[in-house]
Amino acid sequence: MRPARGWVREVARVGLMLLVSLAVGAVSAPAQTPASGAALWPDTVRVGDPFVLGLSVSGDRETTPEFPGLIPLAPELEQLGPAEVEWDDAGGGRWRARYRLAAWKAGTWSFAPILVTAGAAELSLAPPPVFATSVLPAASEGPLPLEGPWGPNRIRGFPWWLLLLLLAAALLWWLLRRLRRPEEEEEPVWTDPAADAREALARLKQGLQEGDLDLAAYYDGLEDTLRRYLAAREGWPPQRPVREYVDEASVEASLNDLEAGLRSLQGRAGLVRFAHVDAAESAALGDADACVAWVDALEEAA
């Protein structure tokens, strides 16, 4: 019986030693550190363009890591807003924090370690550096190249001869119009001064009534018609105004009233043509009738 008891005692002793070793190992084993990481999207940006710094810590959904609201940055970098923290179920589940940043100077800028508390563990995350490029060429790169769609080669290849040809054609067209205009504007010779004057005065009245002429052009037409009538009938110089003829010519006493009305017409025409004073349309039409009466009186006195 002794051998059996000794065997039992030996098994009990070995089992007790095994339990003690497992307990000691469980107490002395360190707590498992959660997986973590830091990344940039994108890692190369232009000056002033925003980019995102992302931090991630694995764990369960009930335990939220303590991400810093503001992270330490170099003077050339700026945080554009608060951190955005969210839970991500992918890859077994992890917490993510995103920071929107911007670089305001070209260069390679590093980040200081970022401390994150996850339960009893304190993690130090080291983001990679960001590369910020300038929108302008560096001083060592020299000026911008002029080759390209609008560089010297493209300008030299422009068909300048076609442009010069178009300019010459436009100049020729302008000269031909200038030479042809006097022929087009040449007025017919008056063969019957009285009849032609009456027709011209009638056309002026019609143009004013229909709105084709303004008052200034209308009175210009009256003056021109009377000058042409006197030039054709009396040989009066057309460059001299009608008022001078009325003042200088000796006429019969029966024409005194008509000439007084004509002087009044001339004064009103000067106000309209040169002082831009408006006149009533009825008075203007009466001035044309006065011109017709003066022409008729001269014809009867001849």
pLDDT, tens digit only, all 302 positions of the chain: 445 556 556 666 666 666 656 555 544 445 567 888 899 989 899 998 999 999 998 888 888 889 998 889 989 999 998 889 998 888 778 889 999 999 999 999 999 999 998 888 888 889 999 999 987 655 555 555 555 555 555 556 667 788 888 999 999 988 887 776 554 455 667 778 888 888 888 888 888 888 887 877 887 888 888 888 888 887 878 777 777 777 665 455 445 555 555 666 666 666 565 545 555 566 777 777 888 887 887 777 76
Residues in the chain: 302
Instruction: Give the Cα separation of 73 and 248 in Å (integer).
Output: 101
Domain map of the chain by residue range? Answer: 36-133, 188-301
Helix, strand, or coil (residue 132): strand
Rg (CA), the chain: 54
Under 8 Å between Cβ of 231 and 257 = no
Instruction: Give the Cα separation of 51 and 43 in Å (integer).
Output: 8
Closest by alpha carbon to 53, among 40, 66, 72, 37? Answer: 40
Q: Please give the C-alpha separations between residue 158 and each of 152, 162, 169, 173, 206, in angstroms, as whole numbers.
A: 10, 9, 19, 25, 56
Closest by alpha carbon to 49, among 72, 71, 78? Answer: 78
Give the phi and the psi of residue 301 in degrees, each rounded to 5.
-80, -15
Closest by alpha carbon to 259, among 269, 270, 268, 249? Answer: 249
Task: Give the model confidence (pLDDT) of 218-260 as tens digits.
Answer: 878 888 888 888 888 878 787 777 777 776 654 554 455 555 5
Task: Give the model confidence (pLDDT) of 103-120 as tens digits.
Answer: 999 999 999 999 998 888
Fold of the domain spanning 36-133: Immunoglobulin-like (2.60.40)
With a threshold of 0.95, does the pTM exceed it?
no
